[in-house]
Amino acid sequence: MPAMELSNSNDNPAEQFKIEANEAFKAHKYSHAIDLYTRAIELAPENAVYWANRAFAHTKLEEYGSAIQDATKAIEINPRYSKGYYRRGAAYLAMGKFKDALKDFQQVKKICPNDPDATKKLKECEKAVMKLKFEDAISAPQSERRSVADFIDYRSIEVEPKYTGARIEGDIVTLDFVKAMMEDFKNQKNLHKRYAYQIVLQTREMLRSLPSLVDISVPEGKHFTVCGDVHGQFYDLLNIFELNGLPSEDNPYLFNGDFVDRGSFSVEVILTLFAFKCMSPSAMYLARGNHESKSMNKIYGFEGEVRSKLSEKFVELFAEVFCCLPLAHVINEKIFVVHGGLFSVDGVKLADIRAIDRFCEPPEEGLMCELLWSDPQPQPGRGPSKRGVGLAFGGDVTKRFLEDNNLDLVVRSHEVKDKGYEIDHDGKLITVFSAPNYCDQMGNEGAFIRFESPALKPNIVTFSAVPHPEVMPMAYANNFLRMFS
């Protein structure tokens, strides 16, 4: 299938907008491409190509809900238009809705029986659905499952004499060890499984004891740094520490979810963040993002990377530890920090968030889902999510939530921003995203926010991507997903 449907003529204004949109798409300016496709659609709403092309641009921005809507519209206009089914199937795949995707690719195959590309993708999708059915069939009910951590004794694992990497002496994770480990990772060396188990198990114990909403106190004269999504971009994480100093009790950080997936150095990122948590719990705070979940890790590369660099047992262990991550933080009773956003109902209090039983995979609705998945919108009120999960919420929703809980500001992450950050809702909401040149193609800056106590005025620092070894993003992702991206 060609990447983008091209125009036959540029005689009319709608076609001209499409040509410009295609150029913007090729330049990775997906938001601008969407605006231009929208203008083409406004002039010629019955042109299925414009809807399918806009669906593809939405997919590139991870707006899978909007992509499905647009592709569905293309199919309604022309039920024989294979590209409509193709785009919708790809969006369903990206959301982990394999059965829905399979139906659409079967339709593509029916319309284009001799297309080898359609045949290949249908086979990949069929394999993925069969694999999921098999995994569901052999998995034990939740109530009968024992923690994988109960079966791991890291002290009994021998470290071979030939191992020359970083070592933990005894039970204490020291700064010297973390520095040595980061240097090894920088040189693409793996950490010994014994020490990886030790870090992950110690972090699990710490996270299990925390509430679902964690209060952070920043003393007067001290500062605190909030980072957004890092998404497996280890070399950019090192750059954050270069710019802002290593985590310590005097230089504490909160990483606001989505540590893993997409980028192909997710193991290095998660072990570094967890090691700092072990070294000094008050130097490193960690929140759950929507990508700290089995379904996302299965699709977007973390699961495959863990298998490649560590082992199958670590896949289960990380899934378990991710269920222990807190869902939100409050800094000095004034700043609410969460990965995604706010809620489908008014009147949610901090006590309601504290009361969430978070020790599970994220549900598809409810407070926990919305904390991890929701996004702000410019217009007031609430609307459907562009992602197809969670919701979009306006400035009035943000204002009411802050007033109800005597808070001043919402800080959230979850969305790529050109400058690495964006301030919305009359200054009451800041999005911070810390993965510059996301997926090696978005060209965005990264950012982090430093808050100085007692004023807690946000000081936003932006930075550019740094070079990394030639390992593509999504290098460990499922074959079938890479085929559609």
The stretch 322-333 carries a mean pLDDT of: 98
Cα dihedral: 377, 378, 381, 382 (round 10): -20
Q: What is the pLDDT of residue 37?
A: 98
| pLDDT class of 2 with cuts at 50, 70, 90 | very low
What is the SS3 assignment for 387-452? CCCCEEECHHHHHHHHHHCCCCEEEECCCCCCCCEEEECCCCEEEEECCCCHHHCCCCCEEEEEEE
CATH 3.60.21.10 assigned to 148-483? yes
Paired sense of beta strands 446-452 and 458-463, if any:
antiparallel
The stretch 304-318 carries a mean pLDDT of: 96
Per-residue pLDDT reduced to its tens digit, 463-485: 999 999 999 999 998 765 665 55
Q: What is the pLDDT of residue 136?
A: 67
| 91/183 Cα distance (integer angstroms) | 38
Residue 73 phi, psi (nearest 5): -65, -40
The stretch 341-346 carries a mean pLDDT of: 98
Per-residue pLDDT reduced to its tens digit, 377-392: 999 999 999 999 999 9
pLDDT at 7 over 50: no
**Burial category of 439 from C-beta neighbours within 10 Å (exposed 0-12, middle 13-18, buried 19 and up):** buried
Residue of higher predicted confidence among 191 and 137: 191
* Average pLDDT, rounded, for the chain: 93
| pLDDT class of 72 with cuts at 50, 70, 90 | very high
Tokens of residue 371, six digits: 């904390």
Please indicate whether the domains covering 13-138 and 148-483 agree at the CATH topology level: no
In the chain, where the domains are located: 13-138, 148-483
Q: What is the pLDDT of residue 482?
A: 60
pTM for the model? 0.93
Q: What is the pLDDT of residue 129?
A: 78
230: nearest Cα among 419, 416, 104:
416
The stretch 92-100 carries a mean pLDDT of: 87
pLDDT at 405 over 60: yes
Q: 291, 339, 425, 468: which is the annotated catalytic residue?
A: 291
pLDDT at 458 over 50: yes
The stretch 190-205 carries a mean pLDDT of: 98
Active-site residue flag, 291:
yes
Q: Which of 152-156, 407-411, 478-482 is the most confident on average?
A: 407-411
3-state helix, strand, coil in the chain (%, to 5): 45, 10, 40
User: Is the previous residue joined to 454 through a cis bond, with omega within 30 degrees of 0?
Assistant: yes
The stretch 393-416 carries a mean pLDDT of: 98
| 87/92 Cα distance (integer angstroms) | 9
pLDDT at 109 over 50: yes
Residue of higher predicted confidence among 389 and 141: 389
Q: What is the pLDDT of residue 96?
A: 84
pLDDT at 174 over 80: yes
Per-residue pLDDT reduced to its tens digit, 261-308: 999 999 999 999 999 999 999 999 999 999 999 999 999 999 999 999
Q: What is the pLDDT of residue 483?
A: 57
| pLDDT class of 117 with cuts at 50, 70, 90 | confident
Q: What is the pLDDT of residue 256?
A: 98
What CATH number should be reported for the domain whose range is 13-138?
Answer: 1.25.40.10
Q: What is the pLDDT of residue 57?
A: 97
